[in-house]
Structure 1
Amino acid sequence: MFGKLALMEAIAGKNRGLLATEPEKVAILGAIAQLEERNPTSSPVEASELLEGDWRLLYTTSSGLLNIDRFPLLKLGQIYQSIRVQTSSIYNIAEIYGLPYLEGLVSVAAKFEPLSQRRVQVKFKRSILGLQRLISYQSPASFIQQIEQGQKFAAVDFALDSREQQGWLDITYLDNDLRIGRGNEGSVFVLTKV
């Protein structure tokens, strides 16, 4: 438990990595590595009861995600990754805030395929960008339900070529409420179950 507490303290107040200085990033990566060494789940990809659900991003080194906050008048809100094991689906959802009544949403739907006990291949299938109010966004769970029912949205809603839009993710730590992953572009993700 000491390792988990140390990581939580290290990432506290860092706004998912946006506010972390270089020395803090090094310390956080060290705390992540220590926790990964004590992963309580030897085969995370097979632990469907732990993987399943909605996860909120606590920290990342992904410039692709963090750069959303760098657009003028936009602020990055909560970021979620929802996993639906039964359909082998992953949904990434970033809430965007800025001008009143113009709260936005950036979402990508993907399918995953296990490659090993800790690695999954991810193929991106659909992207949705729009205003939360026009797509009746309430929560990740209700939004995903709408996607899975095949709903089209009053938004920029388009299919992605999964041959070009793919990558892999290693699940390096998994317990009841914390998941750490490392992506093919070198990014680290720390998420908590909601």
Structure 2
Amino acid sequence: MNLNIEIRENLKQDLLNRTTTLGQQALLPTEKSELDGIVQQLEALNPTPLPLTPENRSLLLGDWKLLYASNGTVITRRLPGGIIIHAIWQTLSAAGEAALSATGNSEGIVASNGAELELPLLGRVQLQAQGHWQWQGKTQTATVAFDAFSLQATGLFQQAHWELPALHIPVLEGLRREAAWQTSYLDLDLRIGRGATGNLFVFARSPLPSISSQCHPGNTVI
């Protein structure tokens, strides 16, 4: 086995073991310098330096579960106490011609960020943000913007089959914010991204037929 491949696989296994041990703490804005160190070593061994090029696009697309966020996420930094986070995920798919034409860009990816939460008394809800990535040329960095959000109750009052229709909230064009997103590591089953402020995000490829089925009773309450 190539030495770099062996080192990468060992680092990945170490990272996965540590995030599994931490559980939901890996998604909270707490000091995790050892994990950051492992992530940075993986970035230095990135086997896909140009993840946005057509030949590498298939590696990027698909369903990804968030394992680690160095400074938390928009959700985990702002939620009040008593709320359980069951899962946070991201689905990336190729943008169709209509979407590309609407944005005036030649290349793009449709992004759907989601989370399943459990609220005290009310039960489970799913939040989703729909948006797109855009870029020009060969690069690691895309511009990300979200144009719609949705909220759906999926388990009211702890009853798994009590659901309400999703509430969709579009974002007016003048209110949409853009941010830079760098894909700093990518292979078949692991992806690392950096937000505009340098926050690190680690995703594992994960088919998500049912987000609820991935919930665990021992998840951390924040």
Q: Name the TM-score, length of structure 1 as normaliser.
A: 0.79
Is 1:168–1:184's contact at 8 Å kept on the other side of the alignment? yes
Aligned to 1:9: 17
Is 2:28–2:73's contact at 8 Å kept on the other side of the alignment? no
Aligned to 1:105: 126
Q: Higher mean Cα deviation, 166-175 or 9-18?
A: 9-18
Are 2:72 and 1:83 equivalent residues in the alignment?
A: no
Instruction: Kindly provide the CA deviation profile for residues 47-73 of structure 1, in whole angstroms up to 9, marking residues without a partner as x.
Output: 1110111100001123423235x4243
Is 2:186–2:192's contact at 8 Å kept on the other side of the alignment? yes
Aligned to 1:126: 148
Is 2:125–2:154's contact at 8 Å kept on the other side of the alignment? yes
Q: Name the TM-score, length of structure 2 as normaliser.
A: 0.70
Aligned to 1:62: 72
Alpha-carbon spacing, 1:166–1:50, altered in 2? closer, same or farther (3 Å): same
Aligned to 1:49: 58
Q: Which runs of 4+ in 1 moved over 6 A?
A: none
Identity across aligned pairs (percent)?
Answer: 26
**Structure 1 residue matching 2:111: 3-state secondary structure:** strand
> How far off its partner does 1:104 sit?
0.3
- Which of 195, 199, 215 is 1:183 aligned to? 195
Matched AA of 1:7? L
* Separation of aligned partners in 2, 1:96 and 1:86: 28
* Separation of aligned partners in 1, 2:198 and 2:133: 18
Matched AA of 1:4? K
Is 1:36–1:173's contact at 8 Å kept on the other side of the alignment? yes
* Separation of aligned partners in 1, 2:27 and 2:182: 23
Matched AA of 2:178? Q
Are 2:182 and 1:160 equivalent residues in the alignment?
A: no
Alpha-carbon spacing, 1:20–1:64, altered in 2? closer, same or farther (3 Å): closer
Structure 1: gaps spanning 5 or more residues:
139-152
* Separation of aligned partners in 2, 1:78 and 1:13: 16
Larger radius of gyration: 2
> How far off its partner does 1:16 sit?
5.3
Are 2:180 and 1:171 equivalent residues in the alignment?
A: no
Q: Higher mean Cα deviation, 92-101 or 43-52?
A: 92-101
Structure 2: gaps spanning 5 or more residues:
1-8, 97-108, 207-222
Matched AA of 2:68? Y
* Separation of aligned partners in 2, 1:90 and 1:19: 22
Give the CA RMSD over aligned residues. 2.4
Q: Higher mean Cα deviation, 51-60 or 72-81?
A: 72-81
* Separation of aligned partners in 1, 2:81 and 2:30: 22
Number of residue equivalences: 174
> How far off its partner does 1:86 sit?
3.7
* Separation of aligned partners in 1, 2:60 and 2:151: 26
* Separation of aligned partners in 2, 1:65 and 1:123: 17
